[in-house]
Amino acid sequence: QDVDADMTLKICSIEECVSLDCSNQINHCEPVVEFPSSPRTDSMDIEDFPCRSPCQFNAIEIPVIDIDMDALKKNVMDAILKGGSVLNSCSDKVSKALELFTPENACIPMELPGKTKYYHKLRTEHVVHVLPDNHELLRNFEKREPDDPSPYLLAIWQPGEMPYSSSPPKKRCNLEGSDLCNRKDCSYCCTRQEESLNICRGTILIPCRTATRASFPLNGTYFQTNEVFADHKTSWKPIVFSRELCDGLEKRALYCGALVASIFRLLDGRRIQLCFWTGFVCTRAFDRKQRHPKRLVRRLHTST
pLDDT per residue as tens digits for the range 138-185: 999 999 988 888 999 999 998 888 888 877 888 888 887 778 888 888
Q: Is residue 176 part of a domain?
A: yes
- pLDDT for position 69: 66
The dihedrals phi and psi of 111, each to the nearest 5 degrees, come to -80, 105
Q: Is residue 214 part of a domain?
A: yes
Number of structural domains (the chain) is: 1
Amino acid at 127: V
Q: Is residue 202 part of a domain?
A: yes
Q: Is residue 65 part of a domain?
A: no
CA distances to 41, 201, 233, 238, 247 from 289, rounded to whole Å, are 44, 21, 9, 16, 30
Residue 73: pLDDT band with limits 50, 70, 90: low
CB 108, CB 277: distance < 8 Å: yes
Q: Is residue 72 part of a domain?
A: no
Give this prediction's pTM. Answer: 0.61
CB 234, CB 201: distance < 8 Å: no
CATH number, position 216: 2.30.30
- pLDDT for position 102: 41
Q: Which domain holds residue 255?
A: 117-294
Q: Is residue 283 part of a domain?
A: yes
Beta-carbon contacts of 181 under 8 Å, excluding residues fewer than 6 positions away, are 172, 173, 175, 189
Q: Is residue 137 part of a domain?
A: yes
User: Tens digits of per-residue pLDDT, 40-71?
Assistant: 655 554 444 444 444 444 444 445 555 666 66
- Give the pairing of strands 285-287 and 117-119: unpaired
What sign has the CA pseudo-torsion 82, 84, 86, 89? Answer: negative
Answer yes or no: is pLDDT of 101 > 60.
Answer: no
DSSP one-letter code for 40: P
In whole angstroms, give the CA distance from residue 8 to residue 12: 6
Q: Is residue 105 part of a domain?
A: no
